[in-house]
């Protein structure tokens, strides 16, 4: 069975205030063309269809047209909700859409109810695990802890139990939206940390033939059977070096896997430039970036006059301007942001406790209180997003 694995469309998202609906429409045109030209048997979309719980109307219209085109192509599509989606909104009409071959899996209670498709080698069971917010699904899964690894383990136990009851030789595909160990993140994914831990081991998904992951925006292979499709478009300058693709996966008899990457259309290249303003404007080797979207980091010791106007005269698509003056490590004006770079909210809060106590840091109980507070704030924000 030939499967096209994609994820993280983020319909309705912009790039530094530049609208991307036209670029997203071009990607969906490309997806449908790929389905037809490569004789795809099934499409899987591993979450974050939309960029936010209540998407703009243009994004909803784009999604609606994509579903009609996939249904018209006669190719079954299985998709799950991600952490950016409102599961309840995305899942409206799931029963009716299923009759047209568009299978939405947004309810955690149905994670062990597969979409079963057939090919000349037998049946393939597609299990959709929507994004599982640990605090919201812990009780439903009777999980001992409210963290990502625990609830995903509980969900996969249900999947494996259902699969074991199916005829021998049934192949299996799991769709999941999570941060799996070994994956490389970028700046454009929303933090899903719970209890200080967001990462789950790939071994959670043992026992199935292919795992189609969403959430991380870089296309990557964690194991032969566990892969991220990545986002079809770049949504941050940290993705400037990404090759945006979909996975075309051939699932053979006995679960054999062959996979190749299918390139996605690029609306405009990205480039990150760094240096003194005058040097950037004079450097002839940067000519190749003059039509790219630009993030420029200026290292001038003194902020130059009208830097954006001068940059856009040469690089008209400059979207982001960052100031990072060259300083010595002992310079008292060194950026506070630099000192915080790479540190989590939890670590910053613990540093603050140590600072106000004259160096005496938080004890184990206090660290737990801080962690629970951050988790409660994030879960509360999630609940507000998904509540109509």
Residues 55-78 pLDDT 10s:
999 999 999 999 999 999 999 999
Residue 358's pLDDT band, with cuts at 50, 70 and 90, is low
Exposure b/e, 262-278, CB count within 10 A at least 16 = b? bebeebeebbbbebebe
Residues 156-176 pLDDT 10s:
999 999 999 999 999 999 999
Structure tokens at 227: 């892969």
Residues 254-299 pLDDT 10s:
999 999 999 999 999 999 999 999 999 999 999 999 999 999 999 9
Residue 201's pLDDT band, with cuts at 50, 70 and 90, is very high
Decide which of 1.10.540.10, 3.40.367.20, 3.30.70.20, 3.60.21.10 is the CATH code for 2-263: 3.60.21.10
Among residues 5, 34, 19, the alpha carbon closest in space to that of 251 is found at 5
Exposure b/e, 148-170, CB count within 10 A at least 16 = b? bbbbbbbbbebbbebbeeeeeeb
Which pLDDT score is estimated for 195?
A: 57
Mean pLDDT for the chain overall = 91
Gap between the Cα atoms of 241 and 370, Å rounded: 36
What are the start and end residues of each CATH 3.60.21.10 domain in the chain? 2-263
């Amino acid at each position: 069975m030939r499967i096209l694995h994609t994820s993280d469309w983020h319909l309705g998202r912009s790039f530094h205030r530049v609208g991307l609906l036209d670029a997203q429409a071009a990607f969906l045109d490309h997806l449908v063309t790929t389905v037809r030209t490569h004789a795809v048997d099934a499409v899987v979309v591993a979450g974050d269809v939309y960029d936010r719980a209540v998407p703009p109307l243009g994004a909803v219209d784009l999604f609606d047209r994509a579903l009609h085109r996939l249904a018209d192509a006669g190719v079954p599509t299985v998709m799950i909700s991600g952490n950016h989606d409102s599961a309840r909104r995305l899942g409206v009409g799931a029963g009716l859409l299923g009759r047209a071959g568009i299978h939405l899996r947004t309810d955690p209670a149905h994670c062990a109810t597969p979409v079963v498709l057939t090919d000349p080698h037998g049946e393939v069971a597609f299990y959709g695990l929507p994004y599982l917010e640990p605090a919201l699904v812990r009780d439903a899964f009777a999980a001992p802890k409210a963290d990502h690894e625990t609830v995903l383990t509980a969900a996969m136990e249900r999947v494996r139990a259902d699969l074991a009851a199916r005829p021998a030789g049934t192949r299996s595909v799991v769709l999941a939206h999570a941060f799996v160990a070994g994956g490389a993140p970028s700046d454009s994914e929303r933090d899903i940390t719970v209890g200080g831990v967001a990462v789950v081991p790939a071994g959670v998904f043992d026992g199935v033939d292919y795992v189609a992951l969403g959430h991380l925006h870089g296309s990557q292979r964690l194991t032969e059977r566990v892969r991220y499709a990545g986002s079809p478009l770049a949504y941050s300058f940290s993705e400037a070096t990404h090759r945006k693709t979909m996975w075309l996966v051939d699932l053979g008899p006995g679960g054999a896997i062959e996979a190749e990457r299918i390139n996605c259309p690029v609306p405009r290249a990205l480039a990150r430039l760094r240096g003194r303003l005058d040097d950037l404007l004079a450097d002839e080797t940067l000519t190749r970036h003059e039509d790219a979207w630009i993030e420029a980091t200026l290292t001038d010791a003194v902020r130059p006059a009208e830097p954006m106007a001068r940059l856009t005269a040469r690089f008209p698509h400059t979207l982001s301007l960052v100031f990072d003056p060259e300083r010595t490590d002992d310079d008292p004006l060194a950026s506070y942001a630099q000192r915080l770079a790479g540190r989590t909210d939890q670590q910053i809060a613990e540093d603050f406790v140590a600072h106000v106590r004259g160096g005496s840091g938080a004890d184990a109980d206090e660290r737990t209180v801080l962690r629970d507070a951050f988790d409660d704030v994030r879960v509360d924000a999630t609940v507000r997003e998904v509540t109509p």
